[in-house]
Chain A
Amino acid sequence: MSKLNLVFLGLILSPYVVAEVPTPAKLLAYNCFNCHGDNGVSKGGVPSIKGLPANILELHLKNYRDGTQASTVMGRIAKGLNDDEIKELSSFIATLK
């Protein structure tokens, strides 16, 4: 076996080769942590978003976006998100452990 194949074999057997690059919508979810805290757990007045079900997150974001839900800042942020992004980032946040 050539050195090359040995290297690849080692790789395939190694448990560490997995890397998960977030999609653009998931990256947006990571931006929420700026205000909502590490992994979505807040230390104070801004509500935590970790643990909220996807449909509730989606509803909040859409209500903030169209103004049916009053906010200091969420409306201004939600207006920058489209339906697809809201859907994907909400289901991603709902799966956070």
Chain B
Amino acid sequence: MAMHRRDFLKLSALAGLSVSGCGALRETTSSQNLNARVVIVGGGIGGVTAAKYLRRFAPNLQVTLIEPSTEYVTCPVSNWVIGGTRDIKSITQKYDALRTRHGAKVVHDLVTQIDVEAKVVTTKSGAKFNYDRLIASPGIEMKWDSIEGYNEAASEIVPHAWKAGAQTLLLRKQLEEMKDGGVVMIAVPANPFRCPPGPYERASLIANYLKQYKPKSKLIILDAKDNFSKQPLFIQGWKDLYGYDTPNSLIKWVPASEDGKVTAVDVKRKTLRTEFASHQADVLNVIPPQQAGLIARQTGLTNESGWCPVDAVTWESKIHPNVHVIGDASIAGKMPKSAFSANSQAKACAAAVVSLLQGDDPAASKYMNTCYSLLSPKYGISVAMVYQINDDGVIDEIAGAGGVSPATGNKQLEATFAENWYDNIMADIFA
């Protein structure tokens, strides 16, 4: 029978055989279970979506997802927990469906090494996993000490709460313990960082809590930027809800041009330093500058920016072949670092990985993002976009598409949709 190289590749990849040299065969899986192996590093938004959709597109693939935690506390909606209108249990997701319904293998361990030459992953417990292709969605790591005095130990006293879980609960507890009349301060980094509207949603929902329970208190945002995501809608909402721009405003926003950039923290005394001033707080939340998760840097997948350059169609690393990077860790053109983006990228990456394993050329697709923010439990706004890959191979916004909610939009309806969006995207990922 005559077989073209392309078809041969297709069959051999699906059978878990890899081709080395001219037609020589190396069997890479046990003979009863003929299929290719994809290892996924990180069981967050990007990783779990990729695992589920890989199995959907190619039910015979061996998909192994490696993640240290047995439960995943989502960052989306964690600001609502901080504001006191949701509990942490309602934002804790489990891996059961990925195992039982979708047939992926889930291993709870930390990946300590990715050998990109041998295509082997090693974990903390010493286990080894061979892969034909690897997808990494390791999320972010804080750039400790880029703000003087703010390192991992300091974050146990002054939370960043930019990874959800214990950090979320710590910030919530400090807000509950604060006296009425206290000052809450949030330090916000420059772009790019995870969830661009997140700090302002957090400020809003803390203000909502203060307004109800500690009305003499104030919230100050010290920002390393002069502009932020959905700014006009946030400002309008703060006026509608929290007296913004009046002498009694609950919220004050200090941009970089007005000395808003935080340069140092004293976690014991709860003070923040900017270039020209020192600020005393009762509750402090420092959101530090960020970079791709540690394993991405250890594997040499990052460039000088601290993030991972990838192909916009396949999400394959531009540095190491056969390794794909999605989610917050990747450089994704105009797409923001959001759960919606990570989910959209994961689906395209899963399709591309199956194509590549079959020896086909992956097709370019469009991407989507929407970020909802709540300014109070009944006041929602959103920013949406559809993206395409431009002639330079960069993910760009489609002219005329997307944008923010209209100023006159129905805030209460959008708040309902925001809440439902969370339940629906979580079902798309974890159910």
Interface residues of A (CB under 8 A from B): 3-4, 7-8, 10-11, 14, 16-24, 27-28, 30-31, 33-38, 42-46, 72-73, 76-77, 79-81, 85
Chain A residues, CB < 8 A from B209 = none
Chain A residues, CB < 8 A from B347 = 27, 30-31
Assess the B365–A77 pair: CB atoms within 8 A. no
Closest to B364 in A: A24
What size tier do the contact residues of chain B reach?
A: 35 or more
> Per-position contact with A for B355-367: 1 when CB-CB < 8 Å, else 0?
1011010111111
Is B64 part of the contact surface with A, judged by Cβ < 8 Å?
no
| Interface 9-residue window, one of B79-87, B229-237, B394-402 | B394-402
| Interface 9-residue window, one of B301-309, B317-325, B415-423 | B415-423
Chain B residues, CB < 8 A from A81 = 366, 386
Q: A76-B401, A77-B368 are in contact. Are A37 and B25 (CB under 8 A)?
A: no
Distance (Å) between the CB of A43 and the closest chain B CB?
5
Closest to B58 in A: A19
Closest to A27 in B: B365
Assess the B402–A79 pair: CB atoms within 8 A. yes
Chain A residues, CB < 8 A from B403 = 76
Assess the B34–A11 pair: CB atoms within 8 A. yes
Chain A residues, CB < 8 A from B11 = 8, 11, 17
Our pick among A4, A16, A21, A80 for the contact of B59 (Cβ within 8 Å) is A16
Distance (Å) between the CB of B96 and the closest chain A CB?
14
User: A94 to B425, alpha carbons, bound, how many Å?
Assistant: 20
Assess the A19–B358 pair: CB atoms within 8 A. yes
User: A10 to B354, alpha carbons, bound, how many Å?
Assistant: 21
User: A23 to B53, alpha carbons, bound, how many Å?
Assistant: 14
User: A20 to B61, alpha carbons, bound, how many Å?
Assistant: 12
User: A85 to B1, alpha carbons, bound, how many Å?
Assistant: 39
Chain A residues, CB < 8 A from B417 = 35, 45-46, 72-73
User: A20 to B60, alpha carbons, bound, how many Å?
Assistant: 11
Our pick among B58, B351, B385 for the contact of A80 (Cβ within 8 Å) is B385
Given A11-B15, A16-B59, list of 18 further CB < 8 A pairs? Answer: A8-B1, A11-B14, A16-B60, A17-B15, A24-B363, A27-B351, A28-B368, A30-B53, A34-B428, A35-B370, A42-B420, A45-B417, A45-B419, A46-B421, A72-B413, A79-B398, A80-B401, A81-B366
Q: Which of B1-47 contact A (CB under 8 A)?
A: 1, 3, 11, 14-15, 17, 25, 31, 34-35
Chain B residues, CB < 8 A from A3 = 25
Q: A14-B34, A46-B420 are in contact. Are A37 and B354 (CB under 8 A)?
A: no
User: A45 to B418, alpha carbons, bound, how many Å?
Assistant: 9
Is B166 part of the contact surface with A, judged by Cβ < 8 Å?
no
Is B57 part of the contact surface with A, judged by Cβ < 8 Å?
yes
Our pick among B1, B34, B58, B425 for the contact of A34 (Cβ within 8 Å) is B425
Q: A10-B34, A28-B366, A76-B403 are in contact. Are A21 and B423 (CB under 8 A)?
A: no
User: A73 to B369, alpha carbons, bound, how many Å?
Assistant: 11
Chain A residues, CB < 8 A from B419 = 44-45
Distance (Å) between the CB of B388 and the closest chain A CB?
8
Closest to B400 in A: A79
Closest to A19 in B: B58
Distance (Å) between the CB of A82 and the closest chain B CB?
10
Assess the A24–B386 pair: CB atoms within 8 A. no
Assess the B424–A35 pair: CB atoms within 8 A. yes
Q: A22-B57, A22-B351, A35-B424 are in contact. Are A7 and B15 (CB under 8 A)?
A: yes
Between A and B, 29 residue pairs with Cβ closer than 8 Å are A14-B34, A17-B60, A19-B14, A19-B57, A19-B60, A21-B362, A24-B365, A30-B347, A31-B347, A31-B367, A33-B424, A34-B340, A34-B421, A35-B370, A35-B417, A35-B425, A38-B424, A44-B416, A44-B423, A44-B424, A46-B420, A46-B424, A72-B382, A73-B382, A76-B401, A77-B386, A79-B398, A79-B400, A80-B386
Our pick among A30, A33, A43, A72 for the contact of B405 (Cβ within 8 Å) is A72
